[in-house]
Structure 1
Amino acid sequence: MRSNGQTCVGRTWLRALLVGVLAIGLASCASTNVVKLPESASHAFSQPFSQARDLARGQDTLPAEQKTDNARNIERLLAGLDDATLSADAAALPAGDPLYPFAGQALIRRGLPLPRPFDRGAWRFDAGNRPPAERDGYRPPVKLAVLLPLSGGLAAAAAPVRDGFLTGYFGETRRRPDVAFYDTAGTPGGAVAAYQKAVAEGNDFVVGPLGRDEVGAVFRDAQTTVPMLALNRANVPPPAGNASFSLSPEDDGIAAAEFLIDQNARRVLVINGVDDGLRRASGALRDALAERGGMVVESLDMGGDPITLLTRLQAAVQKAGQVDAVFLATRASEARTVAPLLASAGLAGKLRVSTSQLIAGTGKPADDIALDGIVYPTEPWTVRGVSGLPGAASVASRLKTARGPAARLFAFGHDAWLITAYLEKLALDPNGNVDGATGTLRLDAAGNVLHTPTWSTFRGGMPVPLADATAR
């Protein structure tokens, strides 16, 4: 690890990290399951697929304000296809067809294999004269810059990301890159200037920045001559040849929608908490359900005393008609209020799904028993452990940055290292994936890293893996 005169790994916390965490051997590796379906000029595409193909051909010619609606129409058409038809139609598309990125995305969301890789023409993996990939796909950079807000208001969030990253880094026994950390909060000019400094100092890959606005600024204003893995999603897509990884509220909403569809719960009533992030999650759920043939039948905002809330909930249920499931976009304190009211509103026995934020503010079984049966996404590492990484409880006993809510960011930082080391495999193998601390990691056509979480619920006021409990 080198010093760059900007900000470097501090000796105190680095020593604590090295002493606190045992050496870790990253056993995670990319797996391949390529399905080769016949591609034939005589293949008869299904009608919805043909309609989606016509829309995709005009996508790039549309004004910016129309592209989003057109893309959603394509996704809705593909969502109506069964798995076998979608797989066969996607495999029959010729190379370079503009529908393939959409079809591939639909396959990934369903956990289905891709017939061939996405077009990655703008991706570069030989910068810095990297040695060839190992047999499992391990091929890290030669010189690596990590952009994090190590000072200022976001420093508390950056610390567990940093420590999780370094836990994975120091746990790898094979060749590792030379790493330098750059403080985006302490650099005049912010994340854009930090990125430019990292490039000027010869790094061949950049991880970060972390803040949503920081990522947007780098995507818009920096000429990304060196590829990067941004640690958040911005309102603009990653430039070609770059990737984005996040634990955004939208990801929770999309994961919940997929879970509900898998449970054949297509008519969903949504209860929104007051937090903006939770509303973003319910918005993503709404869009994802619509793409898969489901719908939000009614939406209700939290507020008022329990009697008033029950009255409003009963009215919402009556207006909604058939309800298959309830999506609680709430924190634990709000869920404890509304969960006991669901039976009185006529929703007894309905599937209840929440976001990862449900766990915030829990820890007292006597109070949390009100959450029993609510299903929520979480990280495999904190629930059942991940091969090659010490258990969450063991790490938490040694590092403050892996305790409580920070554990999720610690897992996120660990997976940022894992993605960096296996990015070529994720990008070029049509079905390459990595089993990370936050879930199974894959890369979509646009360069977004997708993570499939594990699911937990509460039983007797205690969080338990869903496989060990019955959801109801």
Structure 2
Amino acid sequence: MRSSSTRTRMFTRGNWLRAVLLGMLAIGMAGCASVKVSGPDAAAHAFSPAFAQARDLAQNAGTLPADKRAENDRAIDKLLAGLDDATLSADAAALPAGDPLYPYAGHALQRRGLPLPRPFDRGAWKFDAGNRPPAESDGYRPPVKLAVLLPLSGSLSPSAAPVRDGFLTGYYGESRRRPEVAFYDTAGTPGGAVAAYQKAVAEGNDFVVGPLGRDEVAAVFRDAKPTVPMLALNRASIPPPAGNASFSLSPEDDGIAAAEYLRAHNAKRVLVINGVDEGLHRAAAALRDALAERGGTVVESLEMGGDAASLLARLQSALQKAGQVDAVFLATRASEARTVAPLLRAAGLGEKPLVATSALVAGTGKPADDLVLDGIAYPTEPWIVRGVSGLPSAASVASQLKTARGPAARLFAFGYDAWLITAYLEKLALDPNGQVQGATGTLRLDPVGNILHTPTWSTFRGGSPVPLADASAR
């Protein structure tokens, strides 16, 4: 036992503004006509108007200040979101190598589950540190010496335990070459996550998984200046440094997943019901942004609170202001959803798509109480509802490990997938359509190093959770 680690071998502003305005005007024309772009880089391909405008915006993106860059990125995403799948795929394939729009177009394809025409440029990514043996035929190529940074003590340790156990379940379940693993307690190390990362590097690890907390991840990205690649287990306010990745189950991911679900159901005008939890507000904010990028809008937002009568009155007032409503997004937990669901049906919204976050299941489990939740769709982990290859069923694991029971099951699945990503990161990075079927969903790597996980979708039927019939396609 060491004091800070536990080791085991088993283990120009005007031009920009003009381009943005032109881009916004082109959204309504997407897919209706084409613009022929001349020059050797376009090779006579007739780009759609919106795609051509997005390309103009991307050309200047690197020269913009940070605040204008964010606006510019949103404008590009909105233009691409207005394209149908066939047009987006064809236009992306016609871009020449090195075109600044390709990362945006490829990311848009990934979010829809569509194939990439070629890999992203990963020039800063390295996979030979530690003299790794060549990849197996399925892409399996884990590190040689691996460090895992988790808060094994302190206030975050209850969250870290299922992540650790899920990781080790994946690790032990692999019969091929496995790395030597060292666990570092970020809460018990003086200097925290940054010091733990630096110690892991000094001790010769060629890959690092973690840390877990958002502030910890930001600190390592900012202060440690990573020299050994890492898979951070949260998403910070800054993107991963080149050659590094991050993986999270953040509330924002639920909002983005819901926006994709609603886009697939042609629901553009969405009423949002907000619960009292801060994380749920983050999910609602992410939904709002993602809908805007996809040509939709939040028509009204209603806060929970008060008795049923006052809530119904506020709901009816919101509907009068909103006009047409195509769907309802419930950023609530089960207790709040059980209150508002009957009111939505009383207000005539019962036949509209009702979509929630993964937090919907918090506080469920009694079918007699949960009947009112029937028909509400929510994202969830495929391992929990239908199982995944290579991992025993959720019920079987829960019978053996308390860290895989109840709400902890989601973090257990997250830890399992952290191992899969570590072992298959080269495949995810360099294969244009590299993906891994994980416990949390289909795993892919976006152009800036964020792991995307496409969840499955479930609903309630007879008061019990069941997979949606088309869940595998979501």
TM-based fold match above 0.5: yes
* Aligned 8 A contact 1:317 1:346 in 2: no
Could you tell me which runs of 5 or more consecutive residues in structure 1 were left unpaired when the two chains were aligned: 16-38
Report matched runs for 1:68-147 at 5 Å.
68-147=70-149
> What aligned pairs does 1:224-303 form with structure 2 within 5 A after superposition?
224-303=226-305
Query: Over residues 136-187 of structure 1, what are the superposed CA-to-partner deviations in whole Å (9 max), with x where a residue is unaligned?
Result: 0000000000000000000000000000000000000000000000000000
Distance 1:298 1:325 in 2: 11
Aligned partner letter, 1:8: T
Alignment of 1:50-449 (within 5 A): 50-449=52-451
Structure 2: tracts of 5 or more residues without a match: 12-40
How far is 1:346 from its partner? 2.4
CA contact (8 A) 1:4 1:180 kept: no
Distance in 2 between residues matched to 1:457 and 1:78, nearest whole Å: 30
Say which SS state the counterpart of residue 8 (structure 1) adopts: strand
Residue 350 of structure 1: how far off its partner (Å): 1.1
1:5 Cα deviation from its structure 2 partner: 4.8
Equivalent pair of 1:314/1:346 in contact (CA under 8 Å) = no
User: Which residue identity lines up with residue 56 of structure 2 in the other structure?
Assistant: D
Residue aligned with 1:180, SS = strand
In 2, are the aligned partners of 1:230 and 1:243 still within 8 Å (CA)?
yes
Structure 2 distance, partners of 1:390, 1:7, is 30
Q: 2:430 and 2:3 mapped to 1: Cα distance?
A: 36
Other structure's SS at 1:220 match: helix
Code of the aligned partner of 2:362: A
- Cα deviation for residue 6 of structure 1 reads 2.1
How far residue 9 of structure 1 moved from its aligned partner, in angstroms, is 6.1
- Which gives a bigger RCO, structure 1 or 2 (Cα 8 Å, sep 6+)? 1
TM-aligned CA deviation for residue 278 of structure 1: 0.4
Give the Cα separation in 1 of the matches to 2:404 and 2:51. 46
Helix, strand or coil for the counterpart of 1:447?
coil
* Counterpart code for 2:54: A
- Superposition misfits of 4+ residues, deviation over 4 angstroms: none
Residue pair 2:383, 2:440 contacting (<8 A) in 1 also: yes
User: Could you tell me which residue of structure 1 aligns to residue 5 of structure 2?
Assistant: 7
State the Cα deviation string for residues 45-93 of structure 1 (Å, max 9, x = none): 1111111111111111111111111100010111111111111111111
Q: Contact 1:139–1:422 at 8 Å: present in 2 too?
A: yes
Secondary structure at the residue paired with 2:267?
A: coil
The residue identity in structure 2 corresponding to 1:76 is K
CA RMSD of aligned residues (A): 1.6
SS in 2 for 1:458: strand
Q: Aligned equivalents of 1:276 and 1:349: distance in 2? A: 29
Distance 2:207 2:278 in 1: 33
Contact 2:8 2:180 in 1 (8 A): no
Instruction: Show the counterpart of 1:27.
Output: none
Counterpart AA for 2:4: Q
Aligned 8 A contact 2:271 2:328 in 1? yes
Distance 2:435 2:57 in 1: 30
Corresponding residue for 1:22?
A: none
TM, length-normalised to structure 2: 0.91
Structure 2: distance between partners of 1:468 and 1:292: 22
Residues 428 and 444 of structure 2 are in contact (CA less than 8 Å); yes or no, is this contact kept in structure 1?
yes
Question: Whole-Å Cα distance in 2 between the matches of residues 114 and 390 of structure 1?
Answer: 32
* Counterpart secondary structure, 1:343: helix
TM-score normalized by the length of structure 1: 0.92
Q: Secondary structure at the match of 1:467?
A: coil
- The whole-number CA distance in structure 2 between the counterparts of 1:320 and 1:194 is 51
1:448 aligned partner, one-letter code: N
What's the CA shift for 1:343?
1.8
